[in-house]
Amino acid sequence: MNLLNQVCEAIRFLHLSQKTERAYVDWIYRYSVFHNNHLPPEIKKEDLNTFLNFLSNDRKISASTRHQARQAIIFLYREVFEKPIVAIQDNDKVKITKQVPVTFTRVEIKHILEVLKDEAWLMVTLLYGCGLRLSECLNLRLKDIDIEKMQLHISHESKYAMRSLPLPQILQQPLTLRINWIKIQHQQRLQDGFCGASLPKMLAIKHPSAPFDLDWQYIFPSDHHLKEQRLHHRHESFLHKAVKKALIKAKIDKPASCHTFRHSFAAHLVEAGHDIHVVQKLLGHSDVRTTIIYKNFTPNIELIKSPLDELQAKTKD
């Protein structure tokens, strides 16, 4: 079996995400080319560091990306070659300096939502209103939305854990209309010989009828659909382009992206005084150390009341 196919099999056996699979396969391919397609029989600290230094000095790749490359190569030897990783220790990891991410102010969020329309508006409102990753938003299906309880359920194909989030009340009517539209579209597609919605490979095998079930239909299905293929969700470029145009219209000059709405969600919750562990659960971080970075934000001066003002208010009461 081809090496990269073996890597894919190992990744899918461990239920890692498709994004991880693409990244690991790419880095392992690059590592193989670096060694002229003759990989060392065992992973050595010197070989790994030589490759990582090449990425840093010659390719000018960031520390976080080099860390991903390191993890991919270790995965190859540990999971595919079944070689013990002895010489590589945790203190050999690429040192990553965590920087405070870019965020929008509340006023900027308001201006962006004012210039966005229809589907793009709904997607961005979910990103900011629930703190979703773009991939989580795109992968939403009807079964994930509980309008009655106003809750959103996020699950990952790479994890068995699921997290539930409160839906903003402002989304009750737009999401209800969206769901009703999807129901009508689904009935029409079934009459036209619908091939079903795309599903993770193992789930499609285990539940062959799921692609045709209403509950498994995407909230944001792709516009580009061929009858002989499964219907996938919107491509991420759709929202990237919409957000880029919105930033220009709203005259916001920041190095921002779709992920900035998730950062803003977390920062604004911390700024409002919510417990960091609550924010951690809402974001779906497995380690609170990932969330703690949002405590480093410079507070919004306009939201801070002087203790003297609070004292005077209590005195009047």
> For residue 238, what pLDDT band results from cuts at 50, 70 and 90?
very high
The domain tally of the chain equals 2
Q: Among 59, 92, 125, where does a domain finish?
A: 92
Residue 314 in domain: no
Same domain for 265 and 124, yes or no, is yes
> Residue 153: which domain range?
106-296
- The answer to whether residues 183 and 279 belong to one domain is yes
Helix (H, G, I), strand (E, B) or coil at 204: helix
Residue 304 resides in a domain: no
pTM of the model as a whole: 0.74
Q: How far apart are CA 164 and CA 130, in angstroms?
A: 10
Residue 213: burial class (beta carbons within 10 Å; 0-12, 13-18, 19+): middle
Task: For residues 166 and 213, state if they share a domain.
Answer: yes
Domain with 71 in it: what CATH number? 1.10.150.130
Based on the fold, state whether residues 78 and 123 are members of the same structural domain. Answer: no
Contact of 155 with 201, CB cutoff 8 Å: no
CATH number at residue 122: 1.10.443.10
- For residue 99, being part of any structural domain is answered with no
Q: Give 20-75 pLDDT, tens digit per residue.
A: 888 999 999 999 899 888 888 877 777 788 888 898 888 888 888 888 898 899 89
Does residue 100 form part of some domain? no
Residue 160 pLDDT level (bands cut at 50, 70, 90): very low
Mean pLDDT of 201-223: 87
Boundary-marking domain end, from 92, 127, 147:
92
Confidence of residue 94 (pLDDT cuts 50, 70, 90): low
Q: Which of 67, 92, 117 is at the close of a domain?
A: 92
Cross-strand bridge partners of residue 152: 145, 165
Q: Are residues 34 and 154 in the same domain?
A: no
